[in-house]
Amino acid sequence: MIALSLAEIAEILDGELHLVGADTADTLVDGSVDTDSREMTAGSVFVAKPGETTDGHRFVGAAVDAGAVLAIVEHPVDVEVTQIVVADAVAALADLAREVVARVRAAGHLKVVGITGSNGKTTTKNFLARILEDEGETVAPVRSYNNEVGAPLTMLRLTESTRYLVSEFGAAGPGSIAHLAGLVTPDVSVVLMVGLAHAGGFGGIEATARAKSELVTAARADGAAVLNSDDPRVWAMREIAERRGMSVVGFGQSPDAAVRAEDVEVTATGTSCTIVVAGERAPLRLKVLGAHHVTNALAAIAAAGVLGVPAASAIARLETVEIAERWRMQPLGSDRVRIINDAYNASPDSMAAALRTLAQISGPQERTVAVLGAMSELGETAGEEHDRVGLLAVRLNIARIVVVGPEARRLYLAAVGEGSWDSEAVHLPDQDAAFDYLKTELREGDRVLVKSSNSVGLRHLGDRLGEFFS
């Protein structure tokens, strides 16, 4: 965090400052900010956030022992550390992030990119950060820090010399993206796609589209909207951007795309295509598996172009990326049995993309195995969407469909109903049962996809399989 005095922080948060020891109102704080006491280092700020299962106020002492010099709390805690008492710790976190971003922006060189979409946010964020880090100091979220806590924590990592902030915005419900993007007012707004991920919390796909469009509305009027021209709901957001006086850059494989991909080819070692920008063509060879990641690469190239990075430079940097992120199309195992651990999250769109990738990268002598768990937060569409995934797996000729957990049973029944029988599809109660089954069922030459929503936790099963077959 940039250096601020205790008095300044208290004023920003409209909080009550309780000084301890040698601290004065003028004492400067410039350490990291976090809600996890285990992440504290010397000079850190601990935000005591109440939670559903525990209360951050219980860990103020542990945070101080680990190096925290300031605690932001909702009530005084009997710990020897300076504290600022606020009405709402999460709201205070947002207020502090807003002020830090504003001060760094006032220095005149900070550019902010906001990224949203039903799928692909984290991969696109990582791609863009890789491109921009060679241009100047770049701050981007770790993992998927894209909610009301994670997004401000990322913003608070800015320093006086930060040139680019890449923010990832998830949508907890209507208005959440508007709130988070309002903390930074992005110079560039990137919208990837509108899908059924989390549709149950929004009331349908049209409501999801409206939520994603909040990023365009929250951007600077003199900024740019980078939009997926292949997704009609995203491409329609150009009307919002144009009404606000923003420039619009389309990406995709449609003729409307200013940054376009042609001749996409997926293999077991990566994904290749031809990138077309302003009539110029250049090859891109991603080490990341899956045709769907071409869309994420296009978005990153387009956003970087708005910021002045030539396409050739962006392409060269993308080709150095080894994996999108841990648990996202992550290759594990060995030549004997290859595991693709893509179980950080799942939606109908990402399930379909991952299954198609599995089919595309497997040779005629290689058996395909899909280990699938439930997709969460789909609301009333959950049953139908699990049916669709089961049908697709069969139609793609996936040789073995291993369904894990009671919540995914309908996926299994759909696969059986479509014609997957004679042990081609099995349903197992939990991860341990699945591991015991797979460690004897898998054989040399198998190509295995592990995919589920984060809450199901199959990413850990993927790690176990990767280690067993390494």
Percent of the chain with pLDDT over 70: 98
Whether 368 has a binding-site annotation, put simply, is no
Can you give the three-state secondary structure of the chain, one letter per residue? CCCEEHHHHHHHHCCEEECCCCCCCCCEECCCEECCHHHCCCCCEEECCECCCCEHHHHHHHHHHCCCCEEEECCCCCCCCEEEECCCHHHHHHHHHHHHHHHHHHCCCCEEEEEECCCCHHHHHHHHHHHHCCCCCEECCCCCCCCCCHHHHHHCCCCCCCCEEEEECCCCCCCHHHHHHHCCCCCEEEECCCCCCCHHHCCCHHHHHHHHHHHHHHCCCCCEEEEECCCHHHHCCHHHHHHCCCEEEEEECCCCCCEEEEEEEEECCEEEEEEEECCEEEEEEECCCCCHHHHHHHHHHHHHHHCCCCHHHHHHHHCCCCCCECCECEEEECCCEEEEECCCCCCHHHHHHHHHHHHHHCCCCCCEEEEECCCCCCHHHHHHHHHHHHHHHHHCCCCEEEEECHHHHHHHHHHHHHCCCCCCEEEECCHHHHHHHHHHHCCCCEEEEEECCHHHCHHHHHHHHHHHCC
Whether 117 has a binding-site annotation, put simply, is yes
**Interatomic CA distance for residues 73 and 60, integer angstroms:** 9
Beta bridge partners of 354: none
**Interatomic CA distance for residues 334 and 467, integer angstroms:** 9
In CATH terms, the fold of domain 92-318 is UDP-N-acetylmuramoyl-L-alanine:D-glutamate ligase (3.40.1190)
In the Cβ-directed half-sphere of 437, how many Cα atoms lie within 13 Å?
Answer: 19
Whether 405 has a binding-site annotation, put simply, is no
Return the exposure string of 245-280: e unless at least 16 CB atoms fall within 10 Å of the residue's CB, then b: ebebbbbbbeeebbbbbeeeebeeebbbbebbbeee
Dump pLDDT digits (tens) for 401-453: 999 999 999 999 999 988 766 678 999 999 999 999 999 999 999 999 999 99
Beta bridge partners of 450: 341, 371
Non-local CB neighbours of 243 within 8 Å, separated by 6+ positions: none
CATH class belonging to 330-468:
alpha beta
Residues of the chain with pLDDT under 70: 196-203, 420-422
Whether 122 has a binding-site annotation, put simply, is yes
Roughly how many angstroms between the first and final C-alpha of the chain, as a whole number?
41
| Tokens, residue 110 | 């900070």
Q: What is the pLDDT of residue 198?
A: 54
- Domain residues of the chain, as ranges? 4-86, 92-318, 330-468
Q: What is the pLDDT of residue 205?
A: 84
Are 313 and 134 a contacting pair, CB within 8 Å? yes
Q: What is the pLDDT of residue 214?
A: 97
Are 34 and 46 a contacting pair, CB within 8 Å? yes
- Quick one: CATH architecture of 4-86? 3-Layer(aba) Sandwich (3.40)
Q: What is the pLDDT of residue 196?
A: 67
Whether 119 has a binding-site annotation, put simply, is yes
- 398 phi and psi, to 5 degrees? -65, 125
